[in-house]
Amino acid sequence: MKNLFFDSVSRVVALAFTILPVVGIKHAGAQDDVPHEIVDFEVQDDGELAQRGREAAAALFGNLMGRLAEAMSQGGTEAAIRVCQSEAQALTGQTAAELAKKGIASVRRVGVRVRNPKNLPDAIDRKILEDFLARWNPDSPQPPAGQVIFLPQTGQHRYYHPVPVAASCLACHGSPSNIEPKTAALIEKFYPEDKAVGFAEGDLRGAIVVGFSSPQGTKAQSE
By CB under 6 A, name the binding residues for ligand HEC. 9, 12, 68, 77, 80-81, 84-85, 88-89, 109, 111, 114-116, 119, 163, 165-166, 168-169, 171-173, 196, 205-206
Q: Which is nearer to ligand HEC, 81 or 151 (CB)?
A: 81
How far is the C-alpha of 155 from the C-alpha of 216, rounded, in Å? 9
Cβ(155)–Cβ(27) below 8 Å: no
How far is the C-alpha of 81 from the C-alpha of 85, rounded, in Å? 6
Q: How far is the CB of 113 from ligand HEC (least distance, A)?
A: 7
Q: How far is the CB of 80 from ligand HEC (least distance, A)?
A: 3
In the chain, alpha helices (H): 2-16, 47-99, 123-134, 170-173, 181-190, 217-220
Q: How far is the CB of 163 from ligand HEC (least distance, A)?
A: 5
Q: Which is nearer to ligand HEC, 145 or 172 (CB)?
A: 172
Q: How far is the CB of 199 from ligand HEC (least distance, A)?
A: 9
Q: How far is the CB of 44 from ligand HEC (least distance, A)?
A: 24
Q: Which is nearer to ligand HEC, 77 or 214 (CB)?
A: 77
How far is the C-alpha of 62 from the C-alpha of 99, rounded, in Å? 13
Q: Which is nearer to ligand HEC, 96 or 169 (CB)?
A: 169
Q: Which is nearer to ligand HEC, 150 or 163 (CB)?
A: 163
14-41: burial string, b at 16+ Cβ within 10 Å, e else: eebbeeeebeeeeeebeebbbeeebeeb
Cβ(180)–Cβ(172) below 8 Å: no
DSSP letter assigned to residue 134: H
Q: Which is nearer to ligand HEC, 145 or 186 (CB)?
A: 186
Q: How far is the CB of 141 from ligand HEC (least distance, A)?
A: 16
Q: Identify how many contiguous H helices and E strands the chain contains and give both numbers.
A: 6, 5
